[in-house]
């Protein structure tokens, strides 16, 4: 795994009292890569929206998890097949997972998404991206030739994509998102994302979640702050809950999470997180597939 990890705070165990352990060490996990070619199939799942499905023939089977990736770009740019996205998808497919990287409507293309973008338009942007994610999931499940475990789908997103997967996972009780229906996912991975309101996280919708975030992110808050830190009088004033606030709710619900945070980092973790595939595999294998209980907060970045 790339990067340094220090200051690990871990809660483990379910049948015995929870113990808080503080460790100062380098953490690494060993995962192998399959030999041979990675196949990429491209599908149109809705109107002109496409997705790429990555698979290694040696791992083909109905028992492998599916990672669904939503790219970043401020809802105005970015690509499902950018360099970072493609490298990540190929590496995870080479580890034995099925991976789908999706396009979605870039509703802010040619428009602002900052403090002069009305809060209601920001919410509408989150909703539309979540609608497209829901359509992509329905399409993937319907394709019988695509072999993966329909019960082990992990949603992953970067920046705007992270806001999409977090809002889709946790805001379905909100009146703006209620029409989307059941999520049907087993876990969530956020690269520098936030959610509209973490109070909507409860016992029935809390999922194992992995977060990567910089505490000094000036676009997406680490805790609870306005989106882009817009002033209260601005049209785009919209308070979001970042990972520090979300894990409070996951802790209260007794749900597993890993919060990997950089005390000096900013929004670059939307891209830097792609490099941390070993920690992502650890999360999927142990917290999602095996259902192990873990509540971990770890410092990442240069120490």
Through-space distance between the first and last CA atoms of the chain, rounded to whole angstroms: 16
Q: Give the residue extent of every domain in the chain.
A: 38-300
Contact 106, 161 (CB under 8 A): no
User: From the first residue on, what is the mean pLDDT of each consecutive set of 10 residues in the chain (303 residues)?
Assistant: 48 42 38 79 97 91 95 97 97 96 97 95 98 98 96 98 98 96 94 98 97 97 97 97 98 97 98 97 98 97 70
Contact 46, 131 (CB under 8 A): no
DSSP string of 117-133, one letter each residue: S-HHHHHHHHHHHHHHH
Note the pLDDT of residue 19.
32
In sequence order, which residues have a C-beta less than 8 Å from that of residue 289 and are 6 or more positions away?
65, 152
Q: Specify whether the CB–CB gap between 272 and 212 falls below 8 A.
A: yes
What does the pLDDT read at residue 1?
41
Asked whether 50 and 42 are in contact (CB, 8 A), the reply is yes
Task: Name 297's Cβ contacts closer than 8 Å, sequence gap at least 6.
Answer: 7, 8, 9, 247, 258, 259, 261
The radius of gyration computed from the CA coordinates of the chain, to the nearest angstrom, equals: 18
pLDDT tens-digit profile of 150-169? Answer: 999 999 999 999 999 999 99
The domain covering 38-300 belongs, at the CATH homologous superfamily level, to Alpha/Beta hydrolase fold, catalytic domain (3.40.50.1820)
Looking at residue 255, its pLDDT comes to 97
* Distance set, CA 249 to CA 38, 181, 273 (Å): 38, 22, 23
The predicted pLDDT at position 12 comes to 54
For residue 269, give the H/E element and its range.
Answer: helix 269-272
pTM of the model: 0.91
Strand order in the sheet with 38-46: 19-23, 5-12, 294-300, 257-262, 209-214, 187-191, 153-158, 66-70, 98-102, 49-56, 38-46
Beta strands in the chain (DSSP E): 5-12, 19-23, 38-46, 49-56, 66-70, 98-102, 153-158, 187-191, 209-214, 224-226, 239-241, 257-262, 294-300
User: Two tokens at 194?
Assistant: 């936030």
For residue 205, the model assigns a pLDDT of: 96
Burial 18-29 (b: 16+ CB within 10 A, else e): eeeeeeeeebee
């Amino acid at each position: 795994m790339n990067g340094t990890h220090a200051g690990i705070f871990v809660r483990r165990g379910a049948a015995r009292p929870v113990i808080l352990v503080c460790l100062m060490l380098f953490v690494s996990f060993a995962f192998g890569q399959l030999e041979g070619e990675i196949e990429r199939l491209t599908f149109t799942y809705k109107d002109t929206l496409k997705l790429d499905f990555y698979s290694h023939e040696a791992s083909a089977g109905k028992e492998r998890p599916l990672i669904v990736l939503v790219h970043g770009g401020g809802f105005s740019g970015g690509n499902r097949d950018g360099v970072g996205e493609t490298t990540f998808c190929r590496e995870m497919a080479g580890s034995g997972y099925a991976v789908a990287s999706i396009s979605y409507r870039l509703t802010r293309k040619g428009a602002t998404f900052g403090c002069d973008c009305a809060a209601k338009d920001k919410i509408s942007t989150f909703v539309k991206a979540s609608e497209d994610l829901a359509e992509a999931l329905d399409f993937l499940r319907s394709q019988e030739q695509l072999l993966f475990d329909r019960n082990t789908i992990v949603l992953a997103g970067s920046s705007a994509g992270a806001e999409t997967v977090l809002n889709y996972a946790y805001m379905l009780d909100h009146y703006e998102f209620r029409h989307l229906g059941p999520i049907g996912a087993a876990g969530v991975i956020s690269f520098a994302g936030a959610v509209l309101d973490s109070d909507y996280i409860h016992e029935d919708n809390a999922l194992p979640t992995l977060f990567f975030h910089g505490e000094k992110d000036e676009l997406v808050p680490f805790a609870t702050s306005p989106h882009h830190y817009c002033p209260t009088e601005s049209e785009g004033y919209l308070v979001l809950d970042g990972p520090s606030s979300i894990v409070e709710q996951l802790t209260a619900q007794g749900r597993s999470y890993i919060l990997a945070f950089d005390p000096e980092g900013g929004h670059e973790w939307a891209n830097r997180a792609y490099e941390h595939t070993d920690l992502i595999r650890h999360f999927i294998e142990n917290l999602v597939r095996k259902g192990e209980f873990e509540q971990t907060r770890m410092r990442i970045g240069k120490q």
